[in-house]
Chain A
Amino acid sequence: DTAVSQTPKYLVTQMGNDKSIKCEQNLGHDTMYWYKQDSKKFLKIMFSYNNKELIINETVPNRFSPKSPDKAHLNLHINSLELGDSAVYFCASSPRDRGRNYGYTFGSGTRLTVV
């Protein structure tokens, strides 16, 4: 069983398009995250949701809109895609109170290429 699953794994799209990435976790965790890993391999947090409530929003352009229909799902919608959005997007989850000591579990990533 995959603990944190993301779809799609690969996404190639043209500038200006709108696309969504989906994430689901079956670990029973309360908190979910989106991270972006750029071409220099730097992993940076974008958003965090705790039990469907947004708790972290790291100065991400408002073209990026996360949505959490329930605590097991966190989707990422991106409007008007730009070349600079090309990156690998990782979803992650953690237990709410134990995350600080036990780290996060990551999905396998979505490689987005904007052409």
Chain B
Amino acid sequence: KQEVTQIPAALSVPEGENLVLNCSFTDSAIYNLQWFRQDPGKGLTSLLLIQSSQREQTSGRLNASLDKSSGRSTLYIAASQPGDSATYLCAVPNYGQNFVFGPGTRLSVLP
């Protein structure tokens, strides 16, 4: 069974800092990896989807990389802003059917 972990569990940074969130998974035979953000009391918003054939994907200040062989993905957030405060989750397919989510990284960006 696919297992997903995320480090750190929580992170607090001053506005303007660049930061890296980490996601690890145990089964490298994945089609893709998806990063989400979740605001308190809300559903999940998709940020980036990296296909297995890609090594990275960018959207604005966000850059996600994928290293299947090592079972790792990182989400890089440049020039962080208070509006980036949320919980960030990564998800990978579980043998191609449902998805397994990591426990999330709770990010606070202080003004």
**A and B: interacting chains:** no
Q: Contact residues of A with B, CB < 8 Å?
A: none
Q: Contact residues of B with A, CB < 8 Å?
A: none
